């Protein structure tokens, strides 16, 4: 299943895509996935949740990944991954 919203205007593009699937076969194999992706003129961020009989994974795709504490008013992320650099402050 997919849910897509896209807009193209004056040569620029933006889209939001959401996908989900559940699969089961007669051998008892199970797979489930959910994902979302946003695209602003080629700048893409997204995440996928995956699970099957053997395990699970959460996969993030972005230029920068940050975790914030909303109680902290400094605006500084205590954890950040940018390109291939991990920062813990």
Q: Give the closest residue to 33 by CA, choosing from 43, 18, 44, 45.
A: 18
At residue 74 the predicted structure's pLDDT band, cuts being 50, 70 and 90, is confident
Question: Would you say 18 and 33 are in contact if contact means Cβ atoms under 8 Å apart?
Answer: no
What percent of the chain is predicted at pLDDT more than 90?
Answer: 61
Residue 2: pLDDT over 80? no
Q: What is the pTM of this model?
A: 0.76
The count of structural domains within the chain is: 1
Q: Give the closest residue to 43 by CA, choosing from 83, 72, 14, 66.
A: 14
Range of 63's domain? 2-88
Averaged pLDDT of the chain: 90
């Amino acid at each position: 299943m997919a849910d897509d919203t896209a807009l193209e205007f004056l040569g620029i593009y933006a889209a939001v895509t959401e996908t989900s699937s559940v699969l089961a076969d007669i051998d008892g194999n199970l797979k489930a996935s959910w994902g979302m992706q946003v695209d602003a003129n080629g700048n893409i961020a997204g995440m996928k949740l995956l699970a099957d009989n053997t395990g699970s994974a959460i996969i993030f795709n972005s230029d920068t990944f940050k975790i914030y504490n909303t109680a902290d008013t400094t605006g500084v992320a205590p954890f950040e991954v940018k390109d291939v650099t991990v920062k813990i402050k």
